[in-house]
Amino acid sequence: MESTLKRYFGYSQFRPYQKEIIEMVLDGRDCLAVMATGSGKSLCYQIPPLVKKKTAVVISPLLSLMQDQVMSLNQRGIKADYLGSTQKDSTVQCNAESGRFDILYMTPEKACSISPRKEYKQLDALREHLVDVPFIGLTATATEKVRQDILRSLKMTDPYIAVGSFDRNNLFYGGKSFARGMAFVDELVNEISKAGLYHGQMGSKAREESHRSFIRDDLHVMVATIAFGMGIDKPNIRCVIHFGCPKSLESYYQGSGRCGRDGLASICRLYYTRSDFAKADFYCAEADTAEVKLYHMLLEMRMNLAKNTGTAPYAICGDQTIKKITKIRPSTKVRLANIDGVNQVSYVHIRAFLTMQDLGISTRDNLDPQPSNPALSASQTNTNLHSPPLTACSNENPTRKQPRTDESQIEGTPSKKSHVIVEHESSAISPEAATDTAVLEWLTKYDGVDLSTIVEHFNGSKDVVVNLLGSLESEFLIYKKNGLYRVM
């Protein structure tokens, strides 16, 4: 490790926690590191792939951070690139699939084909594809509650946890109130015109040029939005100035942490007005009020639904599920389906179960869970055809998709007609072409099918089926939960 550190980065020894974390990653152990800004968290994932001669996949929501890191690594002779909305080079995807990079950066949606931010918690789905690959979480700010949330979200097993100090002795903080008069605005605009600019409304080429100019010291002052302020890694920044009240203390710590990363004394200054804090208090109060309103609205909707169906509200969904919906505010059916408590046991299922109990029908014989392989054998199909009739329960359950059978056969038709159904079911076992329509029609017959069963049923390679399923998911025609694909 030390030789790799010296060869690529020019350092003779590691900083605190770095060596221990890297050793754990090399041993295949999950890690969570909470270390101050500028403490060298990046090395914790940059060294292991160079030692193992493998590819490290780094997931970050900040394009400026990815571009900054890729630029720096390439200058050191390390093969790195990124996948994101601003990536115009079509060969990067192919090179990444071929394993030609030491380090590959990507945004959360590129990693999971889902929207970022709140869906960050679904990154554990990658474990299905990255077997025996250690996961490492790195952040500068995380409370004990947030740390536990990260461990649960990434499904880390026996992780190594390193928590360092947040204090940076070389940074000196100061604040000053100012008035936004015309003279101040004129002076500010005049000074900003001499500096570089970086914000989301600029084109990707213009942003990259500003970025490079600042890194090369062609520009000494950069005026930027928070995305650049949280993503830049330049060692000799001597002053970070915030105009206006930051959104949170965590945000301010991250932004000011760009300062003095080489360990030399640096200044962090905050200019504010009293109206900044009043405005922040107003927005926070409005957000809390909106959340409370939504929560009570969902409670009222649940109560009305319970009255219409003649059941208790808690039988529809629990209070915790409503609270999660209120906090997450899912904008699509897919996101709603991924909330715990949604698409699970419904009132219809409970009523069907109680009805069967009243009729003295054994649930063990007639409500066995569907087999993992939906293609039933002929003997199993015959048994199901001669089971006691459950048409009342079946008709009351429109949400749970069961294999379709003809009503006349359930009532006891001649065995010859039953054999026709058996032959029809058996013919479905033979592979058919994997198309959008075929997959959708087939999935409607079952309440959840795993990937291996879908691949086995349809004629085509696993990659073809996976791409097809991904396309259907993106169009919100199907969704995946607990490893099973279902129709929306």
Task: Name the range with the highest mean pLDDT among 32-46, 120-134, 308-322.
Answer: 32-46
pLDDT over 90 for what percent of the chain?
18
53 pLDDT band (50/70/90 cuts)?
very high
For the chain, count helices (H), then strands (E): 24, 16
Q: How big is the CA angle at 260 (ends 76 and 258), to the nearest 5 degrees? A: 75
What pLDDT, on the 0 to 100 scale, is given for residue 387?
Answer: 42
Q: Is the pLDDT of residue 417 over 70?
A: no
**Weakest mean pLDDT among 169-173, 367-371, 434-438:** 367-371
pLDDT of 170 over the 60 cut: yes
Contact 142, 153 (CB under 8 A): no
Contact (CB, 8 A) for 363 and 393: no
Mean pLDDT of the chain, nearest integer:
76
Model pLDDT, residue 350:
63
Query: What is the Cα–Cα distance from 10 to 32, expressed in whole angstroms?
Result: 26
| Residue found by looking up tokens 């890729």 in the block | 70
Distance CA 160, CA 148 (A): 13
The span from the CA of 472 to the CA of 465, in Å, is 11
The string of DSSP codes covering 45-89 is HHHHHHHHT--EEEE-S-HHHHHHHHHHHHHTT--EEEESTT---
pLDDT confidence bin for 370, thresholds 50/70/90: very low
pLDDT (tens digit per residue) in 183-216: 776 777 777 777 787 777 787 788 888 888 888 8
In this predicted structure, what is the pLDDT of residue 187?
75
Helical (H) or strand (E) element with 210: helix 204-215
Q: Which amino acid does the sequence have at 87?
A: Q
Could you tell me if 327 and 295 are in contact, meaning their C-beta atoms sit under 8 angstroms apart?
A: no
**Range name among 36-45, 65-74, 351-360 with the lowest pLDDT average:** 351-360
Q: Given pLDDT bands bounded at 50, 70 and 90, which one contains residue 30? A: very high
The span from the CA of 198 to the CA of 210, in Å, is 7
| 416 — pLDDT class (breaks 50, 70, 90) | very low
* pLDDT at residue 64, as a whole number: 76
User: Which tens digits make up the pLDDT trace of 96-121?
Assistant: 888 899 999 988 765 544 434 555 66
d(CA 404, CA 258): 61
Cα–Cα nearest to 405, from 445, 365, 464: 445
Mean pLDDT, range 141-156, rounded to an integer:
86
Q: Which residue has the tokens 């869906």?
A: 119
Residue 72 in contact with residue 26, Cβ under 8 Å?
A: no
Q: How far apart are CA 478 and CA 401, in angstroms?
A: 13
Q: Is the predicted pLDDT of residue 402 greater than 60, yes or no? A: no
Pairing of strands 432-433, 196-198: unpaired
d(CA 274, CA 393): 64
What is d(CA 204, CA 201) in angstroms, rounded to the nearest whole number?
9
Which of residues 180 and 338 earns the better pLDDT score?
338
Residue 290 has pLDDT above 90, yes or no: no
Question: What pTM does this model have?
Answer: 0.53
User: Closest Cα partner for 267 from 242, 248, 300, 231?
Assistant: 242
Instruction: Please return the burial class of 401, using the count of CB atoms within 10 Å of its CB with bins 0-12, 13-18 and 19+.
Output: middle
Q: Is the pLDDT of residue 391 over 50?
A: no
Q: Give the tokens for residue 286.
A: 């409005």
Collapse the DSSP code of 220 into the 3-class scheme (helix H, G, I; strand E, B; otherwise coil) and give the result. Answer: coil
Residues contacting residue 142 through CB under 8 Å, at least 6 positions apart: 34, 150
Q: What strands lie across the sheet with 103-106, from one edge to the other?
A: 56-59, 103-106, 80-83
Confidence (pLDDT) at 201: 76
Q: 184-207 burial, b for 16+ CB within 10 Å, e for fewer?
A: eeeeeeeeeeeebbbeeeeeeeeb
The CA distance from 401 to 487, in Å, is 9
Ranking 23-32, 64-73, 164-173, 174-183 by mean pLDDT, the lowest is: 174-183
Helix (H) / strand (E) containing 381: helix 378-385
Which pLDDT band, with edges at 50, 70 and 90, does 165 fall under? Answer: confident
* Contact of 363 with 392, CB cutoff 8 Å: no
pLDDT tens digits for range 449-482: 988 888 888 876 787 888 788 778 766 678 887 7
pLDDT digits (tens, 9 = 90+) for 228-271: 766 677 889 999 999 888 878 888 888 888 899 888 999 999 98
